[in-house]
Amino acid sequence: MIHLTLYLLRHYIRSQKYFAPVVMYVIAMLLIYSYRPNPIADSYSVTAMLLFFGSAWLGLSVMNAEPAGQIQLLVLHAGSRRKVIFGQLWCAWMMQCALVIITVLYPVMFGMFERQPTGGEWMMAWFGHLALSLLGLGVSLFFQKSYVPRFSRSLPGLIVLLLLSFVQGSLTNHLPEWLQWLNKVLPPAFYLVREMMIFEEAKWGAVLLSIIWAVMYAFVLVSIHVWLSGRRDIRS
């Protein structure tokens, strides 16, 4: 499994498909810190929101990095499609963790904040960014070419879903009653970013609940994707 993950990671880096999502995210992060000093909670909440988008884009590019024929060869060598899926997931997660490390440490190392973060703010930053990056990865899984063959359709669909995840707080007042259920099934990115933004006023329980909710939602999406991949193995 380790060798498969490293192979996928090397192949993905060589393909340079990571370039667009990583560079766009880093540029956006640098623009946020283009002036100083910055408030800690507000800045981390904005970068967490951007990381949600960046992780989804990065996850989609990882899942689409291998051509269909190469995937079949990897399945034959690995023994099952699920092993390849787990390798892709680990590859994407490693890339996203690298972005999380850069995001959390950069403003502290270069003195972009008005003061040093407290212990609670450190925990909020690490867990919040990790949860939203995992959530972005989970959402992106169902827009890869094995589910939506045409990239011209998958990318707009992914963007719309990501945007809806951040306006769901106001959807309740605009949706008809028979569509209110949409607000409950959308990825809970809005609620976690909101709790991060008002961290100084919010209670730790509310922040922790939002983090757990986002992580559980992501794991459900990943589990469904892995289960569907296993069914493909059975049919084949």
Rounded-to-integer distance, Cα 76 and Cα 79, Å: 5
Residue 233, pLDDT above cutoff 60:
no
Phi then psi for residue 38, to 5 deg, are: -115, 145
Rounded-to-integer distance, Cα 172 and Cα 170, Å: 5
Question: 10 Å Cβ neighbour count for 12?
Answer: 21
- pLDDT tens, position by position, 12-68: 888 888 888 999 999 999 999 988 888 998 999 999 999 999 999 999 999 888 776
Domain that holds residue 130: 2-169+178-235
Task: Pick the closest to residue 99 from 66, 62, 58 (CA basis).
Answer: 58
- pLDDT tens, position by position, 140-194: 999 988 888 887 788 888 999 998 888 776 766 666 666 666 667 889 998 899 9
Report yes or no on whether pTM surpasses 0.85: yes
Domain count, the chain: 1
CB 89 within 8 A of CB 222: yes
Rounded-to-integer distance, Cα 133 and Cα 48, Å: 8
Calculate the CA 141 to chain-centre distance.
10
CB 167 within 8 A of CB 190: yes
Residue 2, pLDDT above cutoff 90:
no
Rounded-to-integer distance, Cα 112 and Cα 18, Å: 27
Rounded-to-integer distance, Cα 60 and Cα 225, Å: 13
CB 190 within 8 A of CB 165: yes
